[in-house]
Chains A and B, each alone.
Chain A
Amino acid sequence: MRQFSFSDLLFLATALEWTFLMAAIALAFGVPVGLALALARTSGSAVLRTVATALIELIQGIPLLGLLMFFYFGIPVLVGKDVPTVVAVGAAYTIYTAVFLGDIWRGGIQAVRQAQWEAGACLGLSWLQQFVHIIAPQAFRIALPATVGFLVQLIKNTSLASVVGLVELARAGQMISAGTFQPLLVYTLVAAIYFTICFPLTTWSRTLEARLNGAR
């Protein structure tokens, strides 16, 4: 048995990189897909609406853990060759992020009155101009708290990647705890690190909300 030491702290810091990397991948790919889903769900085309709704309902009905398992164990079987862990896990987080943000933003877009689209159309603006200049800024303001709320969830949920062997923050904590027999210390530290990342996000969200509301 060994004592918790400085090298363990470094280990946690390295593992934290994976936590951030997973969140970054999820956002980099999930945000554009989520926006596309939100637009599809609010579009005039029944086909697009149905497809997007079905996808959102389906994925939201599957636990994130199940998604991770499917992409990590299932996809290699389907495609017949190994898929790198980062790709499999990244894909699972991307689709998870896309459907939840898609649904949150769909709500934001629908909360903007239809008359706002109409006012833009009557001034001769294109659909894209109406969305970018008139609808999106208002929808973003409405959806901001829920969006940041999801971001916090996402960062905490990267811990689930530990089950498929990715050594991110939670998994690193588990390993150190097993080595040092100091679970209270180690897990408190891990929890404190998660909190240190997430708390500023919610604070920032509140500041942003206040500022956006002020400019109105």
Chain B
Amino acid sequence: MALVEIKNVRKNYGTLEVLKGVSLDVEKGEIVTIIGRSGSGKSTLLRCINALETINSGEILLEGQSVSAKMDGLRQMRQKVGIVFQAFNLFPHMTIEKNVTLAPILTGKTDKQGARKLALSVLERVGLADKLKAYPEQLSGGQQQRVAIARCLAMSPHLMLFDEVTSALDPELVGEVLKVMEEMAAQGMTMVLVTHEMNFARNVATKLVFMHQGRVWEQGDPKTLFANPQTPELKSFIGHHAG
């Protein structure tokens, strides 16, 4: 059984159909990157996985359980799925330590004593253990995004979703975030990313998904697809993003 099973999912906003029957499996330990033009439905698909968007038909299973905004155990499901956003979305009125430990404390994953240790350990993983007492606005964009990743890690997720997490960063800050993500990948985290980072998609991902006009247009081994795209759409997309 795959960790995530997406079965023939359709989603529309009014008369605009953004997902036109998408099916996709994510196995445990896989690193799946979803690429495609803006408007191809890739971010919407990602947000459907933890029920931030409701789907109109089809089904999404997470560890065999059907996912929807109305499901029983929605909160328990979300505690297992970390998501990192383009705009970081840290809590500006809290220290970094508080940002990272709020959810583990409130959901009973740790007590107040254990929280400090937990914060240190996850912030160490993203290289920011010295920023416990800082506030988000005192950090650079790259640092804030690494805190956002640490905030998810503190919940020991089974799956991590990344929604264009480097798109809002200055170019010189992209590398530090990608490095953290590569380390997570190396440690066996299951990850689904929507990204424009073609090098990451080529070299780190285990599966590449190209979306076009609300459909999975092509999917497969990243190196093979990059070297040998089967459709003119993917070929032209790769052409535009080369180098």
Contact = CB atoms under 8 A, between A and B. Distances in A.
Interface of A: 115-116, 118-126, 129, 133-134, 137-138, 141, 215-216
B84 to A, nearest CB: 9
B89 interface: yes
Interface stretch (B60-68, B99-107, B188-196): B99-107
Interface residues of B, number: 26
B75 A122 contact: no
Given A115-B85, A129-B106, A123 B93 contact: no
Given A122-B50, A124-B77, A216-B137, 12 more contacts: A115-B89, A122-B78, A123-B79, A123-B151, A123-B152, A123-B155, A125-B102, A125-B107, A134-B91, A138-B92, A141-B93, A215-B93
B82 to A, nearest CB: 8
Interface in B35-77: 50, 52, 75-77
A119 B91 contact: yes
A120 B90 CA distance: 10
6 contacts: A123-B107, A124-B76, A124-B103, A125-B75, A125-B102, A137-B93
B83 interface: yes
Contact of A116 (B75, B89, B155): B89
Interface of B: 50, 52, 75-79, 81-83, 85, 87, 89-93, 102-103, 106-107, 135, 137, 151-152, 155
Contacts of B137: 216
Nearest to B90: A119
Contacts of B135: 215-216
Contact of B75 (A126, A215, A216): A126
B89 A125 contact: no
A116 B85 contact: no
Contacts of B107: 123-125
B155 to A, nearest CB: 6
B50 A133 contact: no
B78 A119 contact: no
Nearest to A134: B91
Nearest to B82: A122
Contacts of B81: 122
CB-based closest 10 A-B pairs: A124-B79, A123-B103, A119-B89, A124-B78, A124-B75, A115-B89, A122-B83, A137-B93, A129-B106, A216-B135
Nearest to B102: A133
B193 to A, nearest CB: 16
Contacts of A141: 93
A123 B85 CA distance: 12
Contact of A125 (B52, B82, B92, B103): B103
A116 B87 CA distance: 11
Contacts of A122: 50, 52, 78, 81-83
B102 A124 contact: no
B155 A216 contact: no
Nearest to B148: A119
A119 B52 CA distance: 10
B92 A216 contact: yes
A29 B91 CA distance: 31
A125 B81 CA distance: 13
A116 B77 CA distance: 19
Nearest to B93: A137
